[in-house]
Amino acid sequence: MALQKCLLVTDDPDDHQAFTDALTEISDKAVVVVILDSHKALSLLLEKSFIPDYIFIDLSMTGIRINTFLKTLKKEIDLENIPTVLYGDNQTFFDTGEYGALHYFKKEYEYSELKDLLKSCFTPSPPGLTN
């Protein structure tokens, strides 16, 4: 299995630790790159020097404009199909499908929930089975 890259966009140090720990437990072929600011994350992605397999975005970050972020990704041919997972404090205002997000989960997650989500992303299905 090839190295799998995850971009985590959050300014929450607890999320940095939780994502890194969970991914380390799940796969020895996955790495997490953490960026604290959505504008810097978008700039990195648009440079196309780093293209992750998954993007996880904290909607609770200060200054995030998620609609702009996702719309910009969807306009770029090399970025438009990257699965994007959103998480935050309040889901009621956000329709994940509207901007092509893969999934939404609540910010007050249990570690086991996070681990299960990451496992579903980063663990390949056995041949002949689909998710």
Q: Give the CATH number of the domain where residue 107 resides.
A: 3.40.50.2300
Is residue 131 domain-resident? no
Is residue 38 domain-resident? yes
Are the C-beta atoms of residues 114 and 82 closer than 8 Å to each other?
Answer: no
Least confident of 13-17, 24-28, 61-65: 61-65
Is residue 20 domain-resident? yes
What is the C-alpha to C-alpha distance for residues 3 and 31, in angstroms, rounded to an integer?
A: 8
Query: Quick check: 74 pLDDT over 80?
Result: yes
CA distances from 35 to 12, 24, 96 (A): 10, 18, 21
Q: Domain span at residue 8?
A: 4-120
Query: Quick check: 93 pLDDT over 80?
Result: no
Query: Quick check: 127 pLDDT over 50?
Result: no
Task: Provide the pLDDT for residue 101.
Answer: 64
Tokens describing residue 68: 């702009």
Output the 3-class SS for 66-130: HHHHHHHHHHCCCCCCCCEEEEECCCCCCCHHHHCCCEEEECCCCHHHHHHHHHHHHCCCCCCCC
Is residue 128 domain-resident? no
Q: What is the pLDDT of residues 95-118, one digit of tens each?
A: 555 656 667 777 778 899 889 888
Task: Provide the pLDDT for residue 61.
Answer: 84
Query: Quick check: 131 pLDDT over 50?
Result: no
Is residue 109 domain-resident? yes
pLDDT band at 129 (very low <50, low <70, confident <90, very high): very low
Is residue 81 domain-resident? yes
Query: Quick check: 64 pLDDT over 90?
Result: no
| Total of domains in the chain | 1
Is residue 93 domain-resident? yes
Is residue 129 domain-resident? no
